[in-house]
Chain A
């Protein structure tokens, strides 16, 4: 085992400096080192999307990125998104439509939905489904999630509700 590597990054706007094992995944780093337990591990293969976070503005799988790769980067997690009033409407829509049940996929799902919404416009339901297909949900039928994202896109665009 090689020795720990020092990394410095910002997480949800906060400067963080830690010495980490080179093999440590970003999501394990966030969870175990920083206590940011809102990001979840589902498959550890980059498939299910439960660990989705933002790295320098891009959504990434926290289980496919090493913590050392985040050195010098800005990471945003669900805890950051939850504190950002810009996404109050998205979280409120998920609650209003019951677009989550157990809540395990939800942080990652919100991150991916935010990415789609940030692109602007009113995506079709098919486009929403396509965009969210890297985030698995075993509880809902996805229908309510699509409803929630669609309703936010429409409201932001000033379009009438579907």
Chain B
């Protein structure tokens, strides 16, 4: 754990809260079982939805008869695609700035054809979920199976899934800088490798859910929705229900994990909203676990081939990357399914200096569930291929992996700079991060321990991975392409008459601690105990407009808006107090719930007295003084498309060559996310990210057969990391604040997931190298490890 108060903000006053490791107020409620999640809500007259989903990955719907189902006990109505036409229009997941990106119209319920297994076809609305499920087998559906495309390479050569699109290439982009051919021509060594990251998914412990209610008297739609982006979802409901924006309100209850899963437009959720509009009854849907595996967005099905050229001193000359990804039959609305691959193009090699770079991306439609942005979008792929090549190149020039990185990482202090792809970088600390990592790992001692273990017949592997992390995106990320996705956040801070503060922010809370961050930032500016700050989030009607919590933007953007609002309120409070006390506001400060003389700390009046004066006793105020005790401010980044964070990770593992089992012994993270508002929250956020990254490296994969059937649709079959398999994770920090904001915070939510797979892969290959084996296909299951050992044994001996 970070020592409390070790990283206080540069502009600290005596009562500063920015930088303090502090428990969250909100955690107390959850620890007492007081969470209110979507499935805990049950309004009167609520209808529960259950969906008939396509059993086929690709099939024509020859007949669909819902008559028998509609007469089952408790069933109110059974709806099919055409029933929703009067109230909902289809959507297409493209963005203008992804030139050539194409997709087909998507409807809430499949129309005449299903294009992935699990696609919703009909919905039963009944008095209970049980009654709705009981009626499903009474729907008569007749299918004619069609050819199924599960492999992206084969898909590109096959007839199009959507005839009107011409082919199955959804998107392609090539970035090229420098003279690639010349760089490879003068290389001392060229290394190359394939890398595969497996299709996996977020597995939020709370499944997706929605509760929609149309009030026919007021003609207003209220949607309770487990989402990261309520304002975005509101706009989507407005657009596709043909309503005016003042008719729609979206409210987030507690959200049981999201990681990018609950920020997209899902057919089943849209069908519920449409049904609520149509029937003027509350309609509720919560996915069960099979439905989650079948229909939550998937991610990361990337097949990479990459080369790296180095000179005789081990300096990187160039990288050449080919990335192919299969995204399912639709680009997901409104964020699109091109972003993940696009990040691979933008970020690969992005922490090394080199002369030339090329990356070609191809995005293919397939008949698996749609993929979209899941935590660390594209970064695990970019980092794994880059750091995998770095280790290969180090070996080729006989350098220790740490020394290879030392020679190639972008030098600190030479920013702004550009990534090899051309993406601008504001200010990073790669060299210091590497040295700090080696220090906390005690790298030389680990190498000695490894040698001793090997002498004793045990196989330890040590892996390191440097990385950049996308945080604080500007409007260049989505808004520029026409999506209803705000890159700014708004925040209102209000002084209450009793001297406490209420904050309303466009951020949302899924457990990361956004509300705690806002409370601390406000407390810092107002000289209040954070326990006296109430925070409201997740309601389009009660919070300022803004993007929400995603892409590690909450603290950096929403936190900055909050800081500005709270500082504005501090000014207003001091102006009011100054007018009453006949003091220059510049000589006043706010500390410990009171207005004090800044120089001496002498209390002049409490915030409760300010509040009372401001709200109740206008009669006592000097003429012309109008108290303004609510302040709203907005913030967005403009100068850089992203505020990149950076860091390095290390992994120590033990390989059992007899069983292929990989035991993780320890994991280390050095992260530079700029200003830390609450290190306690940041540390566990990073650790949680690491564990999701380890899941991707060792366990997680959505397995499909050649017919597009999901083979592991339960949590007994789809493996996520358990406590016993996870190591202790040590986290250390550097602090290079972004200059775009006063707060200086970058995000930290992607780091763990972004680079853990690369660190684990490099550690595993460090252990496998003893056997002449190497593995780059994730997840690294015991079966794959044994196969790699067998293959190496067959050639080496």
Interface of A toward B, CB cutoff 8 Å: 21, 31, 36-45, 47-48, 50, 77-79, 81-82, 91, 94-107, 110, 125-126, 128-130, 132-147
The answer on a CB contact under 8 Å between B513 and A95 is no
Interface set, chain B 1-40, CB cutoff 8 A to A:
1, 23-24, 27-37, 39-40
Supposing A98-B27, A102-B510, A103-B511 touch, asked if A133 and B722 sit within 8 A by C-beta, the answer is yes
Contacts A41-B39, A42-B205; A77 near B715 (Cβ below 8 A): no
- With A50-B205, A98-B680, A141-B729 as given contacts, are A103 and B724 in contact (CB-CB < 8 Å)? no
Q: Do B31 and A141 touch across chains, with their CB atoms under 8 A apart?
A: no
The residue in A39, A43, A105 that gathers the most chain B C-beta atoms within 10 A of its C-beta is A43
Among all A-B residue pairs, the 6 with the closest Cβ atoms: A38-B33, A141-B687, A103-B30, A101-B511, A104-B256, A78-B33
Tell me which residues across on chain B come within 8 A of A138, comparing CB atoms.
202-205, 257, 259, 688, 692, 720
User: What residue of chain B has the Cβ atom nearest to residue A21's Cβ?
Assistant: B130
A42 near B206: Cβ-Cβ < 8 Å: yes
Determine if B714 and A129 form an interchain contact, defined as CB atoms under 8 angstroms apart.
Answer: no
Which residues from A are CB-within-8-Å of B144?
none
Q: Is the CB of B688 within 8 A of A101?
A: yes
Q: With A41-B39, A91-B32, A105-B205 in contact, is A98–B23 under 8 Å at CB?
A: yes
B728 CB-CB contact with A under 8 Å: yes
| B716 in contact (CB, < 8 A) | yes
CA distance A8 to B390 in the complex (A): 65
Residues in A whose Cβ lies below 8 Å from that of B259: 138
Q: A95-B23, A101-B513, A103-B27 are in contact. Are A139 and B716 (CB under 8 A)?
A: no
Q: Are B684 and A101 in contact (CB under 8 A)?
A: yes
- The answer to whether A104 and B205 touch (CB under 8 A), given A42-B715, A98-B24, A138-B259, is yes
Complex alpha-carbon distance, A8 and B257, angstroms: 35
Query: How far does the Cβ of A139 sit from chain B's closest Cβ, in whole Å?
Result: 5
- The verdict on A98 contacting B205 (CB below 8 Å), with A45-B716, A142-B691 known, is no
Q: Is the CB of B205 within 8 A of A102?
A: yes
Is B254 interfacial (CB-CB < 8 Å)? Answer: yes
As a 0/1 sequence over residues 670 to 694 of chain B, the CB contacts with chain A under 8 angstroms (1 = contact) are: 0000000000110111111111100
Query: Range of interface residues on chain B?
Result: 35 or more
| A–B Cβ pairs within 8 angstroms, 26 of them | A39-B33, A40-B206, A43-B289, A43-B714, A43-B715, A45-B714, A45-B716, A79-B32, A81-B33, A91-B31, A95-B27, A99-B684, A101-B511, A104-B256, A106-B31, A110-B31, A129-B723, A132-B723, A134-B722, A136-B715, A138-B692, A141-B729, A143-B728, A144-B683, A144-B684, A146-B723
The contact string, 1 if C-beta is below 8 Å from chain A, for chain B 649-689, is: 00000000000000000000000000000001101111111
Cβ-neighbour of A145 out of B202, B288, B723 (below 8 A):
B723
Q: Is the CB of B256 within 8 A of A95?
A: no
- Minimum CB–CB distance for B661 against chain A, Å: 15
| Neighbouring A residues of B728 by C-beta, 8 Å | 125, 143, 146
Whether B715 pairs with A45 at a CB distance below 8 angstroms is yes
A142 to B720, CA, bound (A): 13
Shortest distance in angstroms between B350's beta carbon and chain A's nearest beta carbon? 25
A82 touches B205 (CB 8 A): no
Nearest to B259 among chain A residues (CB) is: A138
User: How distant is the Cα of A51 from the Cα of B77 in the complex, in angstroms?
Assistant: 31
- Taking a contact as CB atoms under 8 Å apart, the answer to whether B511 and A141 are in contact is no
- The residues of B that contact A142 with a CB separation of less than 8 Å are 687, 691, 721, 723, 726
Contact between B33 and A82, CB atoms less than 8 A apart: yes
A137 to chain B, nearest CB (A): 7
CB of B433 to closest CB in A, whole Å = 19
Chain A residues contacting B325 (CB-CB under 8 Å) are none
Q: How far is the CB of A16 from chain B (nearest CB, A)?
A: 17
Q: Which residues of B contact A136 (CB under 8 A)?
A: 205, 715, 720, 722
Q: Which residue of B lies closest to A36 (CB)?
A: B33
Residues of A within 8 A of B353 (CB): none
Looking at A36, A140, A142, A147, which has the most chain B CB atoms within 10 Å of its CB? Answer: A142
Interface residues of B (CB under 8 A from A): 1, 23-24, 27-37, 39-40, 130, 202-206, 254-259, 288-289, 510-513, 680-681, 683-692, 714-716, 720-726, 728-729, 752
Contact A144 B687 (CB under 8 A): yes
Contacts of B24 in A (CB 8 A): 95, 98
Q: Which residues of A contact B726 (CB under 8 A)?
A: 129, 141-143
Q: Does the CB pair A94–B27 fall under 8 Å?
A: yes
**Do B724 and A129 touch across chains, with their CB atoms under 8 A apart?**
yes
Q: What residues on A are CB-neighbors of B687 within 8 Å? A: 140-144
**Nearest-CB residue, chain A, relative to B288:** A44
Please determine whether A100 and B720 come into contact, CB atoms closer than 8 angstroms. Answer: no
Q: How far is the CA of A100 from the CA of B29 in the complex (A)?
A: 11
B464: min CB distance to chain A, Å? 19
Report how far A135 CA is from B205 CA in the complex, Å. Answer: 11
Chain B residues near A126: list those with CB within 8 A. Answer: 724
Cβ of A70 to closest chain B Cβ, rounded Å: 18
A104/B288 contact (C-beta < 8 A), A96-B23, A133-B724, A139-B688 known: no
- Cross-chain contact of A98 among B203, B254, B684 (Cβ < 8 A): B684
B40 adjacent to A37 (CB under 8 Å): yes
Is B35 in contact with A103, judged by CB distance below 8 angstroms?
yes
The interface residues of chain B lying within 8 Å CB-to-CB of A82 are 31-34
Chain A hits for B723, CB < 8 A:
128-130, 132-133, 135, 137, 142, 145-146
Q: In the docked arrangement, what's the CA distance between A140 and B682, Å?
A: 11
Residues A102 and B722 in contact in the complex (CB < 8 Å), given A95-B27, A137-B205: no
User: Which residue among B259, B289, B686 has the maximum number of chain A CB atoms within 10 Å of its CB?
Assistant: B289
Shortest beta-carbon distance from A51 to chain B in Å: 11
Query: B714 — which chain A residues lie within 8 A by C-beta?
Result: 43, 45, 47
Instruction: Compute how far the CA of A27 lies from the CA of B720 in the bound complex, rounded to whole angstroms.
Output: 23
Which residues of the partner chain B approach A95 to less than 8 Å between Cβ atoms? 23-24, 27-28, 31
Given A45-B714, A102-B257, 5 additional A-B pairs, CB 8 A: A37-B35, A45-B716, A106-B30, A140-B688, A140-B691
Interchain CB contact (< 8 A) of B511 among A47, A48, A102:
A102
Q: Which of B205, B254, B688, B716 contacts A141 (CB 8 A)?
A: B688
Instruction: Decide yes or no: A143 and B511 within 8 Å by CB, A102-B206, A104-B205, A138-B692 being known contacts.
Output: no
Complex CA–CA separation, A41 to B37 (angstroms):
11
- Smallest beta-carbon distance A68→chain B, Å: 15
Q: Please name all residues of chain B whose beta carbon is closer than 8 Å to the beta carbon of A31 when the two chains form the complex.
A: 39-40
The CA of A120 and the CA of B39, in the complex, are separated in Å by 36
- Contact (Cβ within 8 A) B716 A47: yes
Determine the distance from Cα of A135 to Cα of B722 in the docked complex, in whole angstroms.
Answer: 8
Give the complex CA separation of A47 and B565 in angstroms: 45
User: How far does the Cβ of A148 sit from chain B's closest Cβ, in whole Å?
Assistant: 10
CB pair B203 A94 closer than 8 Å: no
* Residue numbers in A under 8 Å from B681 (CB-CB): 98
Least CB separation from A127: chain B residue: B724
Contact A77 B205 (CB under 8 A): no
Given contacts A94-B27, A102-B510, contact A141 B203 (CB under 8 A): no
The chain A residue with its CB closest to the CB of B256 is A104
A82 to B721, CA, bound (A): 28
Which residues of chain A are within 8 angstroms of B689 by Cβ–Cβ distance? 141
